Amino acid sequence: MSISKFTPDDLRCIDEAYTSLMQVAAKRCKDKTEVETVRKAFKFANQAHKNVRRRSGEPYILHPIAVAEIVVSEIGLGCKSICAALLHDVVEDTAYTVDDIRNLFGDKIATLVDGLTKIKTVLDNEDRKGEAASTESLQAENFKRILLTLNDDVRVVLIKLADRLHNCRTIEYMPEHKRDKILSETMFIFIPLAHRLGLYSVKSEMENIWLRYKEPEDYRRITERIKGNVATRDKDIDTFIAPIEQSLKEAGYKFTIKKRIKTPYSIWYKMRTKQVPFEQIYDLYAVRIIFDPTENNIQTERGQAYLIFSTVTHLYRENLTRRRDWISQPKSNGYEALHCTLMSHSGFWVEVQIRSRRMDDIAEKGIAAHWAYKNDGYISENDSEMDKWLAEVQEILLSDDVSDLELLDIIHKDLLSSEIVVFTPKGEQKAIRGGATALDFAYQIHTEIGNRAIAAKVNMKLVPLSYTLKAGDQVEIITAENARPKMDWISVLHTRYARNRVIEYFRRDFNVIAREGERIFEERVRLMGLQNSHELIRKFQDYTQLRDEDELFFRIGLGLLGPEEFKAIIDEKDLSSGERRKSTTLREDSAVQYKIAECCHPIPGDPVIGFSMSDSLVIVHKKSCPVAESLASKYGNRMVVPRWEAVQQEYPIRISLKGIDRIGLLGDISNFISQTLGINIRKLQLSTDDGLFEGFIELRVRDKRNLERMVDGLSKIDGIQDVVRTDL
């Protein structure tokens, strides 16, 4: 931030932004008193930030105005939240206090501002240099503080998401290392949080900004392809919609139809995870039908959604494998809709989404709209699912046996997890986390059912307790009176609740298990080339936040800290203390050694980020690498911009191929790479099945341009249809 007197142009920009905010805020405020409170909050914030500028050079007050507009327009919050957004930086950045805010605006607005100030304080502290040893706890504490407010007042989190969204919109003015840190935090915790709270538009915009800066070439290419497809297909989509529109009008429905195309990030993510080219993204287009129900009644509304679904699916051929019913069993974030994928007469698939006006509001604005309808007496059956999730988060946050760093990973996984619906033998629906086992299900029913479980029947067939449940499974747990939990169950269980029940059961054998854990600890650290010491044990205790040494050994004895966890703790310890880790290739430039991260294998030309291990050692990751995202969320102050392009070296890569098999194909591939490009193939593996082939090539290249020439050339070989760079 900087100080310089505002110009007439600055004042005009402030006035225009404020006018725009008031136009939307006035519609959301309940009466003139609330409108005046918003005006008062603006005037106060405007005076407090007078002549203060952002890094971009624009007046600072434009930021809180923009946050307030996101809060009302895209999240749907009301007067108090709008005021808190306008005032959210006043206490941190000026001489005013929370008590000043309380005296002027009342307790609730002051409490919201106080919550936002505490979050910002920890964020700012995390950026301080020279505190490497405590950085991870500061960063994790920041997210913990954000999540604690979910139970205090979820509006603090929603305003914070609006603040983060606007910071992402203006991120171009940040230096590169700071920009990467903010975007990594955004992807690791804020985007999953927006998803979990049902804020689709906020989530999607942050994802696209992330992609634009993390993978700029991919973003540019996908965006250009989208524009080309829209220009080509726009009339075809209108032709597809016309019969639907006519049929619904004839049936007497009041509705609107919107056209939508997949976002650049969602296309990129699908291309990456499914390893398919742009041409194979079949759900590129979507049509959304939003209807007004004839009565404000949940059952009537849902019945009409199914009738519309029936009308639409009679007009076109449906892909039954892609049918989704989120009305009979809404998602845990409140999302309700019917989805079907239909073949247009022009020969391409179109996803059709059917929502009522209420469902659409909740889908776009999430928890805020959900609770607004609830307060209006329009109660959804899904209320208990959101309340249950908030209670689970609270249980994790208040747990004494979870370190802040472990908490960060637990919450990250929880936010990303999906739910499936399974059935009891009597047909009762039960929602459980995706990936859960039959044993998780047993403990969800009752602790004693879990403790005495010996097997399960899924869809009338006998399965082991380790069986991973699938959506729609009917599950029966078989128990025995003399059965008891087994220690290896901990590795089978997927839900935290069930794992905790098993841990508590084995506390009766605490001393025996702790002594075995101590023996395992000594053996593992010896095999890792380390010397057992009080200092090493203390570092494990610091990481796990277990004050009692015996409790640490107890958990090791139970298998809660296995070999992979040991390696992770040692690696985290090395990163936070600046020690060197073993492994991977080394290269040197200007007295700085660069290690290439084995998780993502970046090459020169890739967007990359580095993590400083010491004054002379940097680990280099792709910017979009999930491991790098996690590290950046914990050790943001160690992020650096690598300067390694000048050093000549070859890097390992893998290219995956698919296509139509023919005689001589293998020779053509080999000749192109070795003779035309002069590159030695390390490994080439192709398999054929019924006239089709797929496989991969492993080789070494100098940089991304070298790789792109290869991909382009391989794509032109007769028979090859897909050429994709994939992870080793």
Catalytic machinery residues: 92-93
Residues in the chain: 728
Q: How far apart are CA 141 and CA 466, in angstroms?
A: 35
**CA distances for 154 relative to 77, 148, 386, 399, 635, angstroms:** 11, 9, 12, 20, 27
Q: Which residue has the tokens 């809180």?
A: 64
**Residue 74 tokens, joined:** 């895209």
DSSP assignment of 667-694, as one string?
Answer: HHHHHIIIIIS---EEEEEEEEETTEEE
Type and span of the H or E element at 662 = none
> Cα separation of 372 and 379, whole Å?
10
Residue 273 half-sphere exposure, CB side, CA atoms within 13 Å? 8
End-to-end CA distance of the chain: 44
Interacting residues of 448 by C-beta distance below 8 A, sequence separation 6+: none
- Is residue 87 within 8 A of residue 113, CB to CB? The reply is yes
CA distances from 703 to 195, 348, 656 (A): 36, 37, 18
Contact status, residue 625 vs residue 666, Cβ threshold 8 Å: no
CA 424: distance to chain centroid? 31
In the sheet that holds 592-596, the strands lie side by side as 586-589, 592-596, 617-622, 608-614, 639-640
Which two three-digit tokens encode residue 490? 């901990």
SS3 content of the chain, % helix, strand, coil (to 5): 55, 20, 25
Cα separation, 182 vs 638, whole angstroms? 13
The H-or-E segment that residue 209 falls in is: helix 200-214
